[in-house]
Amino acid sequence: MKKILVLCTGNSCRSQIAEGYLRHFAGDKAEVYSAGVETHGVNPRAIATMKEDGIDISGHTSNNMDEYRDIDFDFVITVCDNAKERCPFFPSKAKKFHHNFPDPAKAAGREDEIMAQFRDVREQIKAYSEDFIKQNID
């Protein structure tokens, strides 16, 4: 079984959404983890926007990348430029991938405008995740 780690700055939004979709699309073909170079807790809006698409990430936890140093990952995906720049060296055969998604946690405005930005980023990550699994796991 392949092991995938998704890294972001705070492990609160983008990496959590990616973990949810990668698990969904991989099924039992991969173990998916997410972590941050820091931990900020799982963003309630990320949970809400994923719930709208039928995926429950309410049980996810915000983890620091140091917790996973002993796991031999096959893939490490960074989902923001900051995490890519601060990504640690993993002594493994892991193939590294990077895609800089906008940070919905930085959205401003009315609640409906903020949620619209969360939904937009969710859809971008969903498409990326489905494609990633098709190309690398299936």
Q: Which of 24, 38, 40, 87 is catalytic?
A: 87
Q: Which of 22, 80, 83, 121 is catalytic?
A: 80
By C-alpha distance, which of 128, 121, 130 is closest to 14?
121
By C-alpha distance, which of 8, 29, 19 is closest to 134?
29
Is 87 designated active site? yes
Strand order across the 75-78 sheet: 30-36, 2-8, 75-78, 95-98
Is 13 designated active site? no
By C-alpha distance, which of 133, 36, 41 is closest to 84?
36
Q: Which of 6, 7, 8, 115 is catalytic?
A: 8
By annotation, the residues acting in catalysis are: 8, 80, 87
